[in-house]
Amino acid sequence: METSSAQKRVTELQTLLNQYNYEYHILDKPSVPDAEYDQLLRELIELEEQYPEFRTPDSPTQRVGGEVLSMFEKVEHRTPMLSLGNAFNESDLRDFDRKIRQAVGDKFSYVCELKIDGLAVSLRYEDGLFVQGATRGDGTIGEDITANLKTIKSIPLRLKKPYSMEVRGEAFMPKKSFEKLNSVKEEKGEEPFANPRNAAAGSLRQLDPKIAASRNLDVYLYGVADTGGTGVQSHSEGLDLLDELGFKTNKERKKCETIEEVLLYVEGWVEKRPNLPYDIDGIVIKVNSLAQQEELGMTAKSPRWAIAYKFPAEEVVTILKDIELSVGRTGVVTPTAILVPVRVAGTTVSRASLHNEDLIREKDLKIGDHVVVKKAGDIIPEVVNVLLERRTGEEQNFKMPTHCPECESELVRLEDEVALRCINPTCPAQIREGLIHFVSRNAMNIDGLGEKVISQLFQEKLIEKVSDLYKLTSEQLLGLERMGEKSVQNLLSAIEASKVNSLEKLLFGLGIRHVGAKAAKTLAQHFGTIDGLMDASYEELIGINEIGDKMADSIVTYFDQPEVKELISELKSFQVSMEYKGPKPVTVENSDSFFAGKTIVLTGKLEQLSRTEAKEKIEALGGNVAGSVSKKTHLVIAGEDAGSKLTKAQDLGIEIWDEDRLVEELEK
C-alpha cells in the first residue's frame, strides 16, 4: 500500500472505530457486530505498526494498554478534589436544606445523582485531547494513572469540541465484570476481590496497563472542575455539556425544586438500588446554581453546597468468637471482635473494632454472644448490639489484661483517658506501628512499604527504627519472600525519593504526640528547619497560632530525649531533608506586599487565573482568602458574573477590584 493510501485508510479506520466506540459505550446503541469492530481494529493495529507516523494519541489502538510503568508519578490537582459531608437520615437532609435557605434564600434548586461506589478520578484535556488522568489521592496530590484510564472505552480520547478543561468522575467495575473477574481468580486459586470498589481501585493502580484493560472498567462523569470559558451557569448545564462533548454521564440524575422532592428521590433509590448493574452507596445532592455554590463556599474539607446521603447500613447477625488485643504506635491497647465470617454490604466481615473496655461493658459483650453487625458508612465493621434472648449461659465474660500483650509491661490508664496504654518506649508493637505510620501517605509517602512489608522487615530484624529504612540494600530485600528484582528496585527508589520531602512530612511521620498533619505544616513553616524546632522553648511554641499547651509540652518532651536526637542525627547522615520546601508564610511585619494582613474575597469567573492560582498567589504574599464577605473583608476581587458577594461588598463600602487590577498588583 502506498504511503498516502495508508494514511487515508488509517484516518478512516480511526474515525470509524471511534464512532462505533461512542455508540457502544456512551449511547449503548451499537451499530455493528463485535466481530466487525474487532476485524477493523486488527486492520488498524497492523497499519499503525507498519506506519507508526500515522498513529495519533486518540487512536482506538491506544486503549489496549501500553508499556509497564515502574511507578506512578504524583499529580497536583489544579482544583482540589474535596470530599463531601455525609447525611444519614431525613433529619440530616432537612438540616442541610435549612442551612442552604439561611444562606441564599428560597430561590434555588438541587440536582440529585446516584453516588457510584468506585474510585474518584480527574481527567484533563488540552485542545480537546485527553492528556492526563489522576486519582483523588489526598484531594490535593493524586497519582498519574493516564495509561490505565485510557483503557476505559467510555473515556473519550478526543472531545467533540476542542476544549481545554478538567473534569471529574467515578471509575467503577460493573457487577458483571466483577463476577467474571472473581470467577477467573478463583479458577486460578487466587483470593477474590472483596467488592467491585476494591476491584476497580486495584485495577487502576496496576503498573501494567494491559491488566487494567482486561478488567472491563467503566466511568461516569459528574462534574466540570473549572467552568471558565464554557459559559456554564449551573451544575445541570455542566452535565449537559459533558454529554455534548462525548462523555458518559449517569442519566438517572434529577433536578429537584424542594427538599420534599429530594427525599422522594432518595426513598425511591433505596428500593431500586439492588437492581442496578453497578454498586451505589448513596445519593449526592448539590445546589444547582454555580453562583449560589460560590456564595455558599467551602469548609476546610468539603463544599457547603453539596452533601452525600449514605444508605442505611445493612445489619446481619453473627457470633462473637473471641476478642483480640492490638497495641498501636501510641501504646493504646485496642480490643477487636473476632467474628464468625459473615457477608455485610458486599464484603465478608470477620473482625470489628471494639475501641476500648468501656464500650465492651456498655454493650455487655460476652464471648460466644450472637451479635448484630453493620458497616458504619458502608465501610467500617461495627458491633451494634447483643441479642440477649439468644444467650445459652455458656457465654464467657471478657476482661482486659493488666499487662501489655506484646511486651508484658504494666498497662496504665492516663488521666482523662478511657483507653489502657503501654508506656514502654521499646514495646515492639509500638515500634512496628510507628514504622507503618512513618511510611504512610500523609507522612513520608513511601510507595511499596505497606503494613505487610513493614511487618516482614521488622520480623526479620532488618528495621527497628525509621532511620533503618535508609540502610536497606537490594541484597537484604531480595532474600525476603515475594520480593523480586523489579519490586526491590522500585522500593529502594521510593525510599530514596522520600529523602527530598518537605519538613512537614517528616515531622508528621515521626509521630510526635498531638502533632497531626496540619500542626506539622504550621511548625515547618514557622521554623523552616528541624534544628530551629528542636531548639524552640515551650514559651516560643505556645506563641504560635494553633499550637496549644499540650502540643507544645509534647514537642519539647519529644526532642529532649537523647534517642530522638540520635535518630535525627542518623536521618541527617542519610541526607533526609530537614527543611521546609513549601511557600513561606508572609506576615505584615516582614512584607511590603499590598495583600499582607488583609482579608480578600474572590467572586465571579476569573479568566487569566484559576481560582486556586489566585488564592495561592495572594496567600503567598501574606493575604487571607476568605469564602464570604463581612465587615472584616478588606478587598473583593470581582470576575465575570459576580453575584451576591459583589452586591454585599458594595453595600458595605468595601474596595472592589477587577481581575486586571489583581494581576497588575500580583506582578509587582
Residues taking part in catalysis: 115
Q: Nearest Cα to 232, choosing from 294, 172, 312, 279?
A: 294
Q: Nearest Cα to 418, choosing from 307, 328, 301, 332?
A: 332
Q: How far apart are CA 317 and CA 509, in angstroms?
A: 39
Cell matching residue 664: 497588575
Say which residues have a Cβ less than 8 Å from residue 259's Cβ, sequence separation at least 6: 93, 94, 97, 110
For the chain, give me the number of helices (H) and strands (E)? 24, 22
Q: How far apart are CA 258 and CA 109, in angstroms?
A: 7
Q: How far apart are CA 548 and CA 537, in angstroms?
A: 13
Q: How far apart are CA 282 and CA 314, in angstroms?
A: 13
Q: How far apart are CA 195 and CA 348, in angstroms?
A: 9
Say which residues have a Cβ less than 8 Å from residue 365's Cβ, sequence separation at least 6: 320, 323, 337, 354, 371, 383, 386, 398
Q: How far apart are CA 89 and CA 297, in angstroms?
A: 24
Q: How far apart are CA 222 and CA 172, in angstroms?
A: 13
Cα angle vertex 178, ends 172, 182, to 5°? Answer: 140
Query: Distance from first CA to last CA of the chain, Å, rounded?
Result: 60
Asked if 17 contacts 42 with a C-beta cutoff of 8 angstroms, the reply is no
Asked if 557 contacts 515 with a C-beta cutoff of 8 angstroms, the reply is no
Say which residues have a Cβ less than 8 Å from residue 395's Cβ, sequence separation at least 6: 366, 367, 368, 369
DSSP assignment, residue 191?
P
Cell matching residue 451: 503494613
Q: How far apart are CA 349 and CA 336, in angstroms?
A: 12
Rounded alpha-carbon distances, angstroms, from residue 141 to 74, 144, 221, 289 = 7, 10, 20, 28
The Cα diameter of the chain in Å comes to 88
